[in-house]
Amino acid sequence: MGIPSLANPYKSTGQSAYLSTGIDWQLKSINHLTNQRPPNATANDEPARTRDDTTVATFETSERHSYLPSMPQDMPPRGGYEPVQYKRNLPAKGFRPGILLLGMGAVMGYGWYKLIGGMREANELGREKMWARINLIPLLQAEEDRDQVRRYLADQKREKELLGDNAKVYNSDRFVRPTFAVTPPPTTN
């Protein structure tokens, strides 16, 4: 019985390795197995080795180890072995990913709804504040004008007390809006 192996023309023929099961393992060339010789070879010549020779492995029972009992080989059961479980088989905890995704989308949608509503409300409050100020401008301007008139009359009264009736300190008769500068109080020595 011969078992073919890879072609290896560089191995020598007749190598054997003893196996503990009582089987000799030998490498033989195809020419030895078929007893073919090159056409120019005589009966005593070793067959010529060429790179085309193919080496095969054969198994033969050894006569000297026939006292060993034949060892039955373990074979897989009919139908083969069950598949090996290598994946984790843990129970799922929590919701399925699809439900979590839908829940997250609902929470985000509600958050965006409230955010947009809050932004619209803030814009409306800002608009209301701006229109309130616009509508208060005439009232504020009238109050400022009254304050300016009061200050102007007080300033004229002080000038009259200091300079008298006929003194003019301005070169023009045009009204110039007064500029009031904050000055430190006078110091006494």
Going residue by residue through the chain, which has 189 residues, state the pLDDT in tens, using 9 for 90 and above.
455 444 444 544 444 444 444 444 444 444 444 455 555 656 565 555 544 444 554 555 555 555 666 777 788 888 988 988 888 888 878 888 899 999 999 999 999 999 999 999 999 999 999 999 999 999 999 999 999 899 889 988 988 888 887 767 777 888 777 777 777 788 776
Residue 77 lies in a domain: no
Euclidean distance between CA atoms 29 and 9, whole angstroms: 8
This prediction's pTM: 0.34
Give the range of the structural domain holding residue 123, as residue numbers without chain letter.
97-164
Q: Provide the number of structural domains found in the chain.
A: 2
Residue 71 lies in a domain: no
Q: Is residue 180 part of a domain?
A: no
91 part of a folded domain: no
Is residue 84 a part of any domain in this protein?
no
Q: 23 in helix, strand or coil? A: strand
Residue 82 and residue 71 in contact, taking contact as beta carbons nearer than 8 Å: no
Domain-embedded: residue 179: no
